[in-house]
Amino acid sequence: LTVVLTGDGAAAGSYGYTNSGYSVYEEENDRLTESLRTKVSAIKSLSIEIGTEVKNQNKMLSEIENDFDSTGGLLGATMGRLRTLSRGSQTKLLCYMMLFSLFVFFVIYWIIKLR
């Protein structure tokens, strides 16, 4: 078996590439590059999903804000009616209704307590 060596001691057919360790580094670099590519792809898809979720959450918050605004308007109108009612001659009627409500509440509470 005869092996022809180049000037640096490597076999003539390999051009000194495999013996010098460069192919090991290249393989390691390729492996690390592929690993990095996989991780970047995962992070990209995760960031896209986060962006979609943020858009959905913003949409829901906007809808909730609109609901609160409409509820606030309804509550404001109701409070205005209560003020008008309390200023009028129906104050006695309102007091009687509140006392009756308290009486009913205590009767129901008493019935539940006896059970």
pTM for the complete prediction? 0.45
Can you say whether residue 21 is alpha, beta or left, with left for phi > 0 and alpha for psi between -120 and 50 degrees?
left
More confident residue, 12 or 55: 55
Q: Number of C-alpha atoms within 13 angstroms, CB side, residue 63?
A: 6
Tell me the pLDDT band of 95, cut-offs 50, 70 and 90: confident
Mind listing the pLDDT tens digit for each residue in 64-92?
Answer: 998 888 888 888 888 888 777 667 666 77
pLDDT (0 to 100) of residue 8: 52
Tell me the pLDDT band of 7, cut-offs 50, 70 and 90: low
Query: Is the pLDDT assigned to residue 99 strictly greater than 70?
Result: yes
Mind listing the pLDDT tens digit for each residue in 17-66?
Answer: 455 567 888 999 999 999 999 999 999 999 999 999 999 999 999 999 98
